[in-house]
Chains A and B, each alone.
Chain A
């Protein structure tokens, strides 16, 4: 992962999570993370002519429910599946827009966010910056050229 992009996406996600989801996360150096330890992933493609980038956020179930509950102002146990999906798509949508603003990039178009669930038996690994909340694994953030979430596990 490009170090400058790393820094920008880290800052973008931190701001979005703090402002709208009321949570602060820490980031570790890029690493491989097993998809089986993660619950779901939302990603958004950004396009400028023939160039594409994709930003994605994969989360554990507990972190996903927590931020969905915070966002909606409801109890964690009350978060429905469709709400979790909607919220995570909004998260990555806002993170993408915030990233583009920080990168001062004109003419990039955000596409419609995508969402996928991971199977507990998944053997796939994801490469990105692990996130944690006070040392507790929360998920992973990635940014790369081309499309990621369309890859099969």
Chain B
């Protein structure tokens, strides 16, 4: 079944690329919504249901960490999976993000097959034979 996705990144170009990569990955996408920062994302989520959020970390106004904290504080949003798509290289910062509730992360640059694998794992579409921890990110 198609998944509704919210892409959160302050770069409009990167949001376009993520949309394209999602389509190329073969992951079943329904509505693909966008926001330029965490605050905008919360406004979108006030009016739309999404199945997964793909978010950058470094954004003005409200960054990825702020978004994670805000989502955790809202009962109706805290279970929406958040995958970080980021240039962040600090292992401690990425661990902090996972501790705040992110389900996984992808480092930029990324390839469609890596997006699909991580989303499939997180959204539970695997056949159960794949090993791995959904809290691990894809590094490349």
Which residues of A approach B to under 8 Å, CB–CB?
15-16, 19-20, 68, 71-73, 83, 86-87, 89-90, 93-94, 96-98, 100-101, 105-108, 110, 112
Interface contact B107-A71, CB-CB below 8 Å: no
Judged by a CB distance under 8 angstroms, whether B87 is at the interface is yes
Tell me if A94 and B87 are in contact (CB < 8 A). yes
B14 & A90 in contact (Cβ 8 Å cutoff): yes
Q: Can you list 27 pairs linking A and B with CB atoms under 8 Å apart?
A: A19-B109, A19-B110, A19-B140, A71-B17, A72-B17, A73-B16, A73-B20, A86-B11, A86-B12, A89-B11, A90-B13, A90-B14, A94-B108, A94-B109, A96-B87, A97-B86, A97-B87, A97-B88, A97-B107, A97-B108, A98-B87, A98-B89, A98-B108, A101-B107, A101-B139, A106-B92, A108-B89
Which A residues lie within 8 Å of B109 (CB)?
A: 15-16, 19-20, 94, 98
- Complex Cα spacing A87 to B139, Å: 22
Contact B11 A90 (CB under 8 A): yes
Residues of chain A lying within 8 A (CB to CB) of residue B107: 97-98, 101
Interface of B is mostly: loop
Known: A15-B109, A16-B109, A107-B92. 4 other contacts (CB 8 A): A83-B12, A93-B108, A97-B87, A101-B107
Please name all residues of chain B whose beta carbon is closer than 8 Å to the beta carbon of A73 when the two chains form the complex.
16-17, 20
B111 CB within 8 Å of chain A:
yes
Chain B residues 64 to 96 lying within 8 A of chain A, measured CB to CB, are 86-92
Q: How far is the CB of A109 from chain B (nearest CB, A)?
A: 8
In the assembled complex, the Cα of A71 lies from the Cα of B17 at a distance in Å of: 7
